[in-house]
Amino acid sequence: MTVLRIIANIQAPDITLARRFYQDILDLDVVMDHGWITTFGAARPMNVQLSIASEGGSGTPVPDLSIEVDDLDAVFEAMSAAGFAIEYGPADEPWGVRRFYVRDPLGKLVNILVHKN
């Protein structure tokens, strides 16, 4: 048996709220849209990981999602300009990442990060 895919499902009363955050700012594609469910993704292959945590590190809560980007400062500026609530950082962490926490429009705590190497 081989796991082929892992999908995060987030309940939302209005799916269109997620488009600005996940599609417009994070530049994810809409790979499926049935009206009642919209799936954001990318055509390029990505590593899939499932993290189980008792805390978020550096005294922070465990985020609902972690999204690695290639330009943290650009995403931080876009999130701030769009009025999304930044709840932590940006911070350089001792385990080699730079990150910030932001609330998506559905109330989920999202860890946006870049590896410093």
Q: pLDDT, tens digit, for every residue of 8-50?
A: 999 999 888 899 999 999 999 999 999 999 999 998 888 878 8
Q: What is the pLDDT of residue 117?
A: 80
Q: CA gyration radius for the chain?
A: 15
CA distances from 49 to 12, 52, 53, 67, 70 (A): 23, 10, 13, 11, 18
Mean pLDDT over the full length of the chain? 94
Name the more confident of 60 and 46: 60
Q: What is the pLDDT of residue 48?
A: 79
What does the DSSP 8-state code read for residue 22? I
Q: What is the pLDDT of residue 96?
A: 97
Q: What is the spatial distance between Cα 41 and Cα 33, in angstroms, rounded to a whole number?
A: 12
Residue 78 main-chain phi, psi, to 5 deg: -65, -40
3-state SS, residue 44: coil
**103 neighbors 112 (Cβ within 8 angstroms):** no
Which residue's entry shows tokens 């609330």?
Answer: 103
**% of residues, the chain, pLDDT over 70:** 100
Domains, the chain: 15-115 (3.10.180.10)
Count the residues in the chain.
Answer: 117
- Which residues face 66 on adjacent strands? 111
3-state SS, residue 23: helix
Q: What is the pLDDT of residue 4?
A: 77
